[in-house]
Amino acid sequence: MKKTLLLTHEYYPFRGGVAKYCYNLFKFFDTDDYLVVTDNQVVKAQENIINTNLTLPWLKPSWLWSFFKIKKIIKDNKIEQIFTPNILPLGNIAYRLKIPYIISLHGLDINLAIKNKPHLTKDILQNAKAIITNTQNTVNIIKPLDIDQSKVHVVYPALDFDTSYDESKLEAFRKKLDIKDDEKVIMTLSRLNKRKGQDLVIEAIAQIKNDYKLKYFIIGSGEEKKHLEFLIAKHKLSDRIFIFDNIDDEELIYFFKLADIFAMPHKQIGDDIEGFGMVFLEAASCKLPIIAGDSGGVKEVFNSSKQAILVPGDDLRALVIAIKNLLNNPLEADKLAVAAYKRAGQFKGAQEQSLILKEILK
């Protein structure tokens, strides 16, 4: 394949869908075939990763200094093309460098680009060597832009989640989290963001707390943490609901294994949309019954009502009914979990998706 510059604001070990998506696509390539340039502070510079500022907020345009910096990196490293999951501003840099480039689109990014700079967005996409989207739903967003559909490729996020675990460690986690034998556990793993719906789950638990012995584990960090803590205190649920914002990747499997329900009733807020929802496949691979929102790309993750319960993101009543149905009908919950598990198995693994990308990057 042609030597590729992966130009991105997000990359592993930063936690986020785009970071994981890019990492899984590129990690199987020979390190001589690609170079990562990022400004994410979590990502450390190493053999084929350069960490450098890509925008300067006091400069107009903010990417101007980076244009010349990237131009030099391309020359010094004999780069032949650029891959970027950030259409603005990084896709704009690629467009102006007059080098072949591939744009990866995920949902919110393209919605904001079309809203804020529609003409530039169209020019960037029309001149791209290829466009990769995470779902067909994202393809539908760009259809009105009259893009050559032959260069648009749907490459779903790859399921690359290790579900193996140590039984003794699982029991140690159970004791540490003080999960009683007669308690049920609901979990959410995501950024603490208004769109993800953790607040709605808290409100739902507040309504049914006297009917069930429950614990709710919220795993993630983000700007909504203080609001979620306020809701927990308001409903006197500090002994039922816990936020974990610093969990290692290796420990996530134990939360999945201890959970009885995975709930993330996400919703669309303005242009912010759930592009795919990789975490749903991770939950499915652990054979958990799943409650999700009914917006964004999740309808491609689960294409049947037998695989997951989808609820409107603002419908508290529907969420309460869904949770109660799963708690009251364990056999039906198991059927849902098995169907979700089978559906997860239909998605290609990271190595297979990487081979698809390699063909595009030729």
Q: For 53-77, what is the mean pLDDT? A: 95
pLDDT band at 352 (very low <50, low <70, confident <90, very high): very high
Q: What is the DSSP letter of 308?
A: -
Q: For 316-340, what is the mean pLDDT? A: 98
- Predicted local distance difference test score (pLDDT) of residue 7: 98
The DSSP code sequence of 227-291 is: HHHHHHHHTT-TTTEEEE----HHHHHHHHHH-SEEEE----BTTB-----HHHHHHHHTT--EE
Quick check: do 4-158+348-360 and 167-344 share a fold?
A: yes
Q: Tell whether the model's pLDDT for residue 246 goes beyond 90.
A: no
Q: How far apart are CA 119 and CA 124, in angstroms?
A: 9
Q: What are the sequence ranges of the domains in the chain?
A: 4-158+348-360, 167-344
Residues 6+ apart with CB under 8 A from 239: none
Least confident segment among 97-101, 228-232, 244-248, 288-292: 244-248
pLDDT tens for each residue of 253-280: 999 999 999 999 999 999 899 989 999 9
- Predicted local distance difference test score (pLDDT) of residue 208: 98
- The single-letter code of the amino acid at 120 is L
- Predicted local distance difference test score (pLDDT) of residue 157: 94
Q: What share of the chain is helix, strand, coil (3-state, %, to 5)?
A: 45, 15, 40
> Order of strands across the sheet with 130-133?
49-51, 34-38, 4-8, 81-84, 101-105, 130-133, 152-154
Q: Which residue is listed with tokens 């054979």? A: 287
What is the topology classification, in CATH, of domain 167-344?
Answer: Rossmann fold (3.40.50)
CATH number for domain 4-158+348-360, candidates 3.40.50.10790, 3.30.450.20, 3.40.50.720, 3.40.50.2000: 3.40.50.2000
pLDDT tens for each residue of 140-175: 999 999 999 999 999 999 888 899 999 999 999 999
Peptide bond into 89 cis (omega under 30): yes
